[in-house]
Amino acid sequence: MARKVDAEARRRYSEDQEHAERLPGLLERVAAAERALGAAHRSGAGIEELHLLSTALDTALTDAMRAAYARERVLIGPRGADRIYRRKRQATPGIRRATELAERLLSAREEHRLQGIERVPRRVAAA
């Protein structure tokens, strides 16, 4: 017997589908941001440029992570608000892989925030 899904759950599911479709492009953006930051480090770029590239990588990781979690919710389905249904679906191999990707992106973002973002020193105002 198919259970009915309310309009709000269908709307959230539709939004998640849109976000999940962007995941491959966002992963490419993360890779490009990592390459740009690495090249800047190797070339001895200034602190301001490194800071800009570091924050661009942070933004790319955040967007990709959100899309990966949206993909997980899409794979679970519109009935994902039901705790028991969601737990059963999360045990399947495809959804488990989607969850692992989302968690890897989350970990990469947090590690980058803790250690990878270049800090720009404050400028002292002229007296």
Cα 121 to the chain's mean position, in Å? 28
Token pair 């999360």 in the structure block, residue: 90
Residue 47 burial class via C-beta count within 10 angstroms: exposed 0-12, middle 13-18, buried 19 and up: exposed
Q: Residues 29-65: pLDDT tens digits?
A: 999 999 999 999 999 988 889 999 999 999 999 999 9
- The answer to whether residues 46 and 118 touch, using CB atoms and an 8 Å cutoff, is no
The set of residues, in sequence order, having a beta carbon less than 8 Å from that of 53 and lying 6+ positions away, is 33, 36, 37, 40, 45
How would you write the pLDDT of the chain (127 residues) with one tens digit per residue?
Answer: 456 778 888 899 999 999 999 999 999 999 999 999 999 999 998 888 999 999 999 999 999 999 999 999 999 988 888 889 889 998 999 999 999 999 999 999 999 999 988 787 777 555 5
